[in-house]
Amino acid sequence: MSTHDQHGSGRTARRPWRARLLAAAGACALLLASGAVAPPVSADEGEGGGDSTLTVAVAQSVDSLSPFLAVRLLSTSIHKLTYEYLTNYDAKDNHVIPGLATEWKASPDKLTWTYKIRSDSKWSDGQQATAEDAAWTFNKMMTDPGAATANGSFVGNFEKVTAPSPTELVIRLKKPQATMTALDVPIVPKHVWEKVGDLSKFNNDKDFPVVGNGPFVLTDYKPDSYVRLKANKDFWRGAPKFDNLIFRYYKDQDAAVAALRKGEVSFVAGSPSLTPAQADSLKGEENIRVNDAPGRRFYALATNPGARAKDGTKFGDGDPSLLDQRVRNALFMAVDRKAIVDRVFQGHAVEGAGYIPPRFSQYFYEPAAGQELAYDPAGAAKLLDEAGYRTNGDGKRVGKDGKPLNYRVLCHATDPNDKAVGKYLQEWWGDLGISITLDCLDNVTDPWLAGKYDLAFDGWSVNPDPDFVLSIHTCAALPATPKDTGATDNFICDKKYDELYARQLGEYDTGKRADVVKQMQSRLYDTGYMNVMAYPNAVEAYRTDQIESITTMPSAAGNIYGQDGYWSWWSAVPADSGDSSGGSSSTGTVIGIVAGVVVLVGLGVLFAVRRRATADERE
């Protein structure tokens, strides 16, 4: 599934900007001078003293350990490690490869799909994983709304799912569906989960070890502290090289970097990337390698279009001015994307527009000439005037109620990028006569789901197949009632967008489908609901005296943390282990960006992503 970088799933800081960066760099230099290199981390928070342990510092907490509920990047990454999916993506170039299913075929009318389930996958309690487990998982999602929270869009078009034998799964569709080799749904063991009562309230975080069939077994969890996994020695693809894998939570990202420098953790990714100052402080340091490559996520600003439920009930308290497309477009025309890339990300990103990052070139969208909502403060002011939001004697834009416009912008307290961009918004929108209040919280989920915000920093990690990240803006993703969660990102319900979504879902011709996907992104862009400001690089670091080799995705120049699969942690080889194979034929070489251009091979297409020259600072 796509993973949310917003409802906790990750999205870095700014203002007296240059001064703050210099201070951070100075602090890092002091740490470098004083910190002795520690030996490789051994298992902590419990057992396994002499075993090899890979400890990953994360800046995000778990939302749920239930694969039916989780949407955050950390949580879904854990599920990719603990449960098999029907199919997987190759680490080298993202093409579809076998997972729990070894092969699949469609009927001539594309309405019946038959999957052969492997016979060499066992659950960690010793029972065989079968087609019945997959059938139960999908049927539960089809019949129980509580089981469809995270991934319900994948089964909305399913008519019937059966398991004629332990190695045969049959899915009958209502209409053709192009995502049948990209069903990013964790398959759970029926004999365990059928005993669960209310799946909408079950977080799978009490009984350990958790029964799974992935490369790792979930053995322990402490909220806002750590998640512990151990290697599954019986994993059908081969056991991981590290005996233990720990995700350790750091609210303070600088503290996580310091922990890496001292050898207390093996890897750090930030939230989800390191800031330029943090990355620069680590480059060239002994036993630390920095990976800087185009990422799979976008960084955006979302408007509240008026929170509502499927039953028509409106709720929340979004500013009514944002219901006017002219106001939304004006706000985005007053955002300088180039400045955000140069000053906040310091060139470790490219300017945004559509939902799909350039890394997935087939679906990447760029506005046509004349359509682009380019940085134009004067044009933005004119649009606001036309919409009836004029300035008063104090230079403040006044709403229809006669009160000055003051937008509440929801941001993540742990993400310095949000605060950094927020400072720019205060400046840029302030020039328009609009004030903003940055509402930076540890928990953005509650006000987001309640619709109690005007705008919010948003972002998702995108899968090779874009269906899921597109589905979160359909009317079907809205909550059934205000009391329900739903799968919506920010309550968009647009009939034209829904029509396009249905077209792409049923289109098997890859070229034609890609064209429709671009039209969908254009619709979101034109209506001003989502301002995708940048596509950040994956900037992360690890200790070479603890990790000898590790797979990036794509292997030519890709990310380590938050992959579309389990390749990085499954392939990682402990230093001094005597094994440099990485457990994979596609062990990636971590590379930097040379001469401002990174060449990627993805989905069979060779393309270049230009890296902007660094400027002041940013996320």
User: Residue 418: its pLDDT value, please?
Assistant: 95
What average pLDDT does this structure show over 94-103?
97
The Cα–Cα gap between 77 and 88 comes to 13
Which pLDDT belongs to residue 9? 35
Residue that is last in its domain, among 491, 515, 535: 535
**CATH code for position 374:** 3.10.105.10
602 falls in which pLDDT band (50, 70, 90)?
A: very low
Range 57-96 burial, b when 16+ CB lie within 10 A, else e? bbbbbbbbbbbbbbbbbbbbbbbbbbbbbbbbbbbbbbee
Please determine, for residue 143, whether its predicted confidence score (pLDDT) is greater than 60: yes
Tokens 């029964």 correspond to what residue?
211
Q: What percent of the chain shows pLDDT beyond 70?
A: 85
DSSP 35: P
Q: Which residue has the tokens 């490690």?
A: 81
Largest interatomic CA distance in the chain = 76
* Angle, alpha carbons 11-13-14 (nearest 5°): 145
**Domain-embedded: residue 69:** no
Q: Give the per-residue pLDDT at 222.
A: 97
Residues 275-303 have pLDDT tens digits of 999 999 999 899 999 999 999 999 999 99
Identify whether 426 is part of a domain.
yes
| Whether the predicted pLDDT of 17 surpasses 70 | no
Q: Average pLDDT for residues 110-129, to the nearest whole number? A: 98
What does the pLDDT read at residue 50?
Answer: 61
pLDDT in tens, 355-398: 999 999 999 999 988 888 999 999 999 999 999 999 999 999 99
CB 31 within 8 A of CB 41: no
Amino acid in position 310: K
Average pLDDT on 140-167 reads: 96
- Same-domain check for residues 312 and 447: yes
325 has pLDDT over 70: yes
Give the per-residue pLDDT at 31: 34
pLDDT in tens, 49-78: 568 999 999 998 999 999 999 999 999 999
Among the candidates 504, 535, 566, a domain finishes at: 535
Q: Is residue 27 part of a domain?
A: no
Which domain, by its residues, includes 158?
Answer: 79-193
Is residue 290 included in any domain, yes or no? no
In angstroms, rounded to a whole number, what is the distance separating the alpha carbons of residues 398 and 377?
18
Boundary residue ending a domain (482, 506, 535): 535
Tell me, what's the pLDDT at 534?
Answer: 97
Specify if 211 maps to a domain.
Answer: no
Query: What is the CATH number for 86?
Result: 3.90.76.10
pLDDT tens, residue by residue, 482-523:
988 888 999 999 999 999 999 999 999 999 999 999 999 999
Identify whether 198 is part of a domain. Answer: no
303 and 176 share one domain: no
Indicate whether 188 and 310 sit together in one domain: no
In a domain, 55, yes or no: no
pTM (two decimals)? 0.82
Look at residue 472 and tell me if it is in a domain: yes
The residue written with tokens 């053995």 in the block is 219
If one counts the domains in the chain, the total is 2
